[in-house]
Structure formats: structure tokens, C-alpha cells
Amino acid sequence: MIGWEFPPFASGGLGVHCLELTSRLCAMGVEVDFFMPKSGEGVNSSHPNLHIIEVAKADISPYIFVSKSRRHTTYGENLMHAVEQYNKECAAVLVQRAKERGYSLIHAHDWLGVKAAGEAAGKTRLPIVHTFHSTEFDRTSVPWDFLVDIERQGVQNADLLIAVSRRTKAQLMRLGANEGKIRVVYNGVDAQKFNNGNGGNAALERFRQGRKTVLFFGRLTEQKGPMQFLHAAKKVLQVMPGTLFIVAGKGDMLPLLINTAIELGIKDNVMFLGYLSEEDQKRIYSAADLYVMPSTSEPFGITALEAMSAGTPVIISRTSGVGETVKGALLVDFWDINGMAQKMLSVLKYPVLGSSLSNAGKEDAMKMSWEKTAQSTIEVYNEAVARGKQ
């Protein structure tokens, strides 16, 4: 398996997916060698059948914004060099270990492992299963042709493709994928893990002071819609001036969002938390009265399932993959600031609606297990191996 991050070296859903998927696969008897860049974080295996192989030092987030000038606002000129070096070293080590370990197939994730998978498959004749968690069309409103071409290459190289939603399937077909080799396998959630939140901590409770609380949790990028969240918050505060809005997560937009909160005159009602550990994530979901995911383009949206597991009412963008699988969430168009604010107010003002969403959301989350994701992934593996023998 060719990945890019593995907890504690993780910045988004890709890291969560790789941890949860490999844990379940290994518990089902699959042996996994997981390749990733050297993180310097002391990454530990989550199961005896899982072997972490770190090659090539890199400190780059898997969900990045790259301009057409090839200059990344955080990682500068070193971005493509780091990815290229990782793929080169990963392919070389993978080919050598394939001889020793007798691999059945190569499973790669997103654009960052395309070249390594292709090069290694060419030398080992192993089938490729490639999971796409997002595409360049999702990450930015101005897709960079260079990355789109890499994704097209990954789509062409793979024997079978896994899309995390029907929405992502459509994006893969936009990249030229044959519909016949795409399998939709939804993400899951460890519902029990987030159902055990303790309702927040003392510091947060002192700040809340009994106020209704609305949560945004995600990378602070254009794709995730934090700006729309703040503008909707402004409208909510005109009706319920005591409401607290929490923005959790890190990203390049943080300074802009802070300035926007000041310009909108809502800075006293907005709390920026930055990075949250897993334990803090559990607390914040449980402490919130409402979770809002206003993404402009969301291939899936694991955080929505996590919030639902905690019993928190959820509002999600219609342009999200998770909306294909759940019924216990309110849907809104990311661009409809008025509609978003009205739905927030409805949940905050009417406890019966909030309770109904909470109960329905918990039921939805219980059905979306990582075991189910792993079993579906194994079925794709079996199909890929069978195809390779034909």
C-alpha cells in the first residue's frame, strides 16, 4: 500500500482512512506493507500484520493548494521535488520487497503515489488498485493541469479504481476513467470511539458560558467553505446574538478568516482553536450543539460521520459524498448563505428538530463501519488479482 501519511503524521481524511482501513484489513488476515515518507514522528504499526516502511523525508500535506506557477504558498519550490523523490525511492524499495514478500497487488492512494505505483507495477507485473479520496477538480477552483495529468495517468495505470463516493466516481470519469473499472467504496467511522465524548473540557465550558455552540472542523482551505461558515454566522448572530461559533483546524486561510471575523463584527462570538488532537476532537463534537460542513466540493466528509456518532446534529453541503449515504443530516447549497443560516437557526431554536437529527445521525453512523469498508476493499482486491491472472 502506497500512502502519504499515517497517524500521528496526519493532516486530513487520508491519514484517518489509511489507519482505519489497514487496521481492519490486517484483522481480517491481510498482510500490509504500508509505504510512506519518513515523518520523524515515530510512526507505529497498529497491527502485527501491518509493516510501516518509511522512505524519503517529506513534510508535505496530502491536501495542498498548488498554483499554476508551481509555487505552493506553504511549501514553496520544494513540493514537486519532494513528491518525485518519494515516488522514486518508494518504487525502488517496493520492487525489492516484492521479491522478498511475494505481494499480491499494489494499492495506491491519491495522486501522490501514482508514479511509484506505475513504475513498481511495470517491474513486478502486479495489479494496481488505486483509491482516489479527492481530485484536483475538488481541491481548487483553478485546477493545475500538471496535477490533472498525473491523476489521469493514475486512472489509466490502475487495473481497478476505488472512489470514496459516487461524486468521486464522476470526477474519475471526468479524468478519463472507464466506468467499468470503478468501484465505489464509502469511508466508515468508529462510531463507538466518538460516542464516548465527555462533553468538552473545563476551559471550553468557561468560554461557552452556556451559549449555543456551532462547530466548523476541517482544513482551513477554500474547498472546505470556512468563509461561507463565517458569513452565515453573521446572519445567525443577528437573530441569536449569544451564539458561539467554533472554527477548528489549521490551514493557509487562518489569517484571512480571523480578519474576516473582525471585519464582520463577530470576533467576540468566534473562537479559533487550530489543530485538535483526537481526544480534543471527541470533546469538541460532544460539546457542540450543531456541526456544519459547508464544503464547496467534498468527495466524502468523514468528519460529518464523526459528529453524527457523537450525537451532534449535522448540516452538510449538497456537494459532499457523505450525503449519498446518510439520511439524518440537513443538506444545504454551499453558496446559499441565507439558507445555511436559516438551517442553523432552525436546529438551535427548536430542540425537537435537534433531537431528531441527533438520533437519526447516530443510526446512520452505526451503519457506516470501517469493517464494511475493509470487506468491500478485499472484494476489490480479489477482483484485481483475478483479472491479473486472466
Cα(190)–Cα(366) distance, rounded to whole angstroms? Answer: 8
Instruction: Provide the total of helices (H) and of strands (E) in the chain, helices listed first.
Output: 15, 12
- Torsion, Cα 360 362 365 367, to 10 degrees, reads -70
Please check the confidence at residue 188 and state whether its pLDDT lies above 50.
yes
Pair (275, 152) in one structural domain = no
Which cell goes with 109?
492512494
Pair (161, 213) in one structural domain = no
Range of lowest pLDDT (198-202, 208-212, 282-286): 198-202
Task: Read off the pTM.
Answer: 0.89
pLDDT greater at residue 87 or residue 200: 87
Pair (23, 156) in one structural domain = yes
pLDDT above 70: percentage of residues in the chain:
89
Pair (165, 30) in one structural domain = yes
- Mean pLDDT value of segment 104-120: 96
Angle value at C-alpha 310, between 222 and 25, nearest 5 degrees: 80
Range of lowest pLDDT (63-77, 261-275, 374-388): 63-77
Pair (245, 363) in one structural domain = yes
pLDDT at 232: 98
Range of lowest pLDDT (221-225, 258-262, 313-317, 371-375): 221-225
**What residues make up the domain containing 138?**
13-188+370-388
Q: Enter the DSSP assignment of 323.
A: G
Cα(342)–Cα(320) distance, rounded to whole angstroms? Answer: 20
**Number of domains within the chain:** 2
- Mean pLDDT value of segment 87-111: 95
Please check the confidence at residue 388 and state whether its pLDDT lies above 90.
no
- Mean pLDDT value of segment 135-149: 86
Pair (220, 172) in one structural domain = no
Q: Residue 92: which region, alpha, beta or left (left: phi > 0; alpha: psi -120 to 50)?
A: alpha
- Mean pLDDT value of segment 29-50: 88
- Torsion, Cα 353 354 357 360, to 10 degrees, reads -100
- CATH at 65: 3.40.50.2000
pLDDT at 197: 56
226 belongs to a structural domain: yes
Range of lowest pLDDT (58-67, 217-226, 262-271): 58-67
Pair (142, 291) in one structural domain = no
Residue 69: pLDDT band (50, 70, 90) is very low
Pair (176, 319) in one structural domain = no
Pair (222, 236) in one structural domain = yes
Pair (252, 355) in one structural domain = yes
pLDDT at 267: 95
Pair (170, 209) in one structural domain = no
Nearest Cα neighbor of 257 from 225, 279, 209 is: 225
Please check the confidence at residue 286 and state whether its pLDDT lies above 50.
yes
Cα(90)–Cα(130) distance, rounded to whole angstroms? Answer: 16
pLDDT at 282: 87
Query: Crossing angle of helices 254-263/226-239, nearest 10°?
Result: 20
304 belongs to a structural domain: yes
Which DSSP string do the residues of 260-321 spell out, in sequence order? HHHHTT-GGGEEEEE---HHHHHHHHHH-SEEEE--SSBS--HHHHHHHHTT--EEEESSBG
Pair (271, 348) in one structural domain = yes
5 belongs to a structural domain: no
4 belongs to a structural domain: no
Give me the residues paired with residue 76 across strands: 72
